Amino acid sequence: MYRNMKNKIYSGEYGFVNGRLRKAAVLFVSLIMLMSLAACGSNSADGPTSVTYAGKLGGESGDQSAGDGKLQVVTTIFPEYDWVREIAGLGANSVDKSAADGIELTMLLDNGVDLHSFQPTAADIAKISTCDMFIYVGGESDFWVDDALKESINKNMVVIDLLDVLGDSVKEEEVVEGMQEEEEEHEHGEADADEEEEGPEYDEHVWLSLKDSQTLCSEIAKKLGEIDPEHAEAYNANAENYVSKLAALDQEYQSAVDNAKVKTILFGDRFPFRYMADDYGIDYYAAFVGCSAETEASFETVIFLSGKVDELKLPAICTIENSDQKIANTIKDNTTAKDQEIIAFNSLQSTTSKNVEEGATYIGAMEDNLQVLKNALGSK
């Protein structure tokens, strides 16, 4: 859906047929730049849109693809980055740090650009092409990855696609009652007979499930151990400890829902929290689906959501991080009581390198979300 919005923006007068071609063009240019970078052997002004966390200097040379013999791990989004940091011995919860000196960890989406609009630079592609492990979400937003991997220099690279790991537990995007559907992006007139039929759109926000996160962390530890057998026990020990903390937090969420006054949350925003809601049997209403590009809610959407706030006596109206809260406030203004709290969940889609430097962690963000959830549900 998000890509469909970009198709409209970059069509016609902008010189591109659609958003897919625009990204393809960006990727093609990036690959040309990558070859230039390799030939020149120097740093480009088009530096990586990434933050890199390296183990201490001094690792011995080995079979790893980059300098100093360090194991190169590249992730797209912050949750993946922080999971690897904990499993590799670089995190605050790591119990075995013996592998930490030999790891270099990179997060590509570190400047606040979210997954749905990310475009890799030449330096990003160069980083991916030589790494030992690449971790990405695997949804529609990551369609650029296949072409990037074809340019891989390290043919022994281990690639982890989160949606592939989770298999049948991945959910299709869901439009619930009252949710505003996006406009069809087809031009007026008959559709091109050769137009490729689109398959189902899957909800990419799997990292917002603490249950799925446990599965994904175990898989990451397993694959790290296969690449680096010498430290397999360390990775497993760190993963087991970290997964136990995720499981404990998962139980806290369930307890909060069990003790809640209401079992419904309502978002005056897009809704990337379906996995979380389904994990704990929470009903939800929202203005838009999780990957929506829409920013303006219709009158009908606002009135429906305002009515639900009144009907269910909801204590709060929710948004995601960085929202201007205009839709939420409009919903509030159309309720009878007009006294609801406007609260924001963190979908972990906009975590920056500055946030990382300031100590941001996946567990910390999910603990904060738990407190927001309690407010939304009127939990004790």
pLDDT tens digits, one per residue of 44-85? 333 344 566 554 322 332 344 445 689 999 999 999 999 999
- Classify residue 196: in a domain, yes or no: no
Give the pLDDT confidence score for residue 144 in this predicted structure.
Answer: 87
Q: Which of 248, 279, 298 is the last residue of a domain?
A: 248
- Classify residue 352: in a domain, yes or no: yes
Residue 184, classified by CB atoms within 10 Å of its CB into exposed (0-12), middle (13-18) or buried (19+), is exposed
Provide the CA 110 distance to its chain's centre, in angstroms.
12
**Same domain? 311 vs 364:** yes
Q: How far apart are the C-alpha atoms of 174 and 14, rounded to whole Å?
A: 32
- Classify residue 39: in a domain, yes or no: no
> Which contiguous run of DSSP H or E holds residue 166?
helix 162-166
**Same domain? 286 vs 342:** yes
Report which of 298, 269, 302, 303 is spatially closest to residue 286, judged by C-alpha positions. Answer: 269
Q: How far apart are the C-alpha atoms of 345 and 347, rounded to whole Å?
A: 6
CA distances from residue 360 to 28, 99, 254, 363 in whole angstroms, order as listed: 34, 22, 24, 9
Q: Which of 227, 248, 269 is the last residue of a domain?
A: 248
- Classify residue 367: in a domain, yes or no: yes
Give the pLDDT confidence score for residue 69 in this predicted structure.
Answer: 83
**Same domain? 270 vs 238:** no
- Classify residue 173: in a domain, yes or no: no
**Same domain? 272 vs 142:** no
Give the pLDDT confidence score for residue 9 in this predicted structure.
Answer: 36
Give the pLDDT confidence score for residue 274 in this predicted structure.
Answer: 96
CA distances from residue 123 to 27, 57, 118, 351, 354 in whole angstroms, order as listed: 11, 22, 14, 20, 20
Q: Are 83 and 103 in contact (CB under 8 A)?
A: no
Q: Which of 216, 248, 280 is the last residue of a domain?
A: 248
pTM of the model: 0.82
CA distances from residue 361 to 92, 135, 163, 270, 379 in whole angstroms, order as listed: 9, 18, 22, 23, 24
DSSP string over 252-274? HHHHHHHT-S--EEEEEEEE--H
- Classify residue 66: in a domain, yes or no: yes
For residue 285, the cross-strand partners are 266
**Average pLDDT for consecutive 10-residue bins of the chain (380 residues)?**
38 38 44 39 39 44 53 96 98 96 91 72 92 93 86 92 97 90 48 55 95 98 97 98 98 97 96 97 91 76 97 97 95 97 95 93 98 92
**Same domain? 109 vs 138:** yes
Phi-psi region of 363 (alpha: psi -120 to 50; beta: other; left: phi over 0): alpha
**Same domain? 77 vs 130:** yes
**Same domain? 141 vs 213:** yes
Give the pLDDT confidence score for residue 23 in this predicted structure.
Answer: 44
**Same domain? 372 vs 271:** yes
DSSP reduced 3-state for 286: strand
Q: How far apart are the C-alpha atoms of 105 and 128, rounded to whole Å?
A: 11
Number of domains in the chain: 2
- Classify residue 19: in a domain, yes or no: no
Tell me the residue range of the domain where 70 lies: 49-167+206-248
- Classify residue 244: in a domain, yes or no: yes
**Same domain? 87 vs 236:** yes
Looking at the chain, which runs of residues are DSSP E strands?
Answer: 51-54, 71-75, 103-107, 133-136, 158-161, 264-271, 283-289, 316-320, 341-345
DSSP reduced 3-state for 150: helix
**Same domain? 231 vs 95:** yes
Residue 201, classified by CB atoms within 10 Å of its CB into exposed (0-12), middle (13-18) or buried (19+), is middle
Report which of 59, 51, 89, 65 is spatially closest to residue 157, judged by C-alpha positions. Answer: 65
Q: How far apart are the C-alpha atoms of 348 and 365, rounded to whole Å?
A: 8
Report residue 95: phi and psi, to 5°: -100, -20
**Same domain? 310 vs 344:** yes
Give the pLDDT confidence score for residue 89 in this predicted structure.
Answer: 97
**Same domain? 329 vs 234:** no
Domain CATH code at residue 361 = 3.40.50.1980
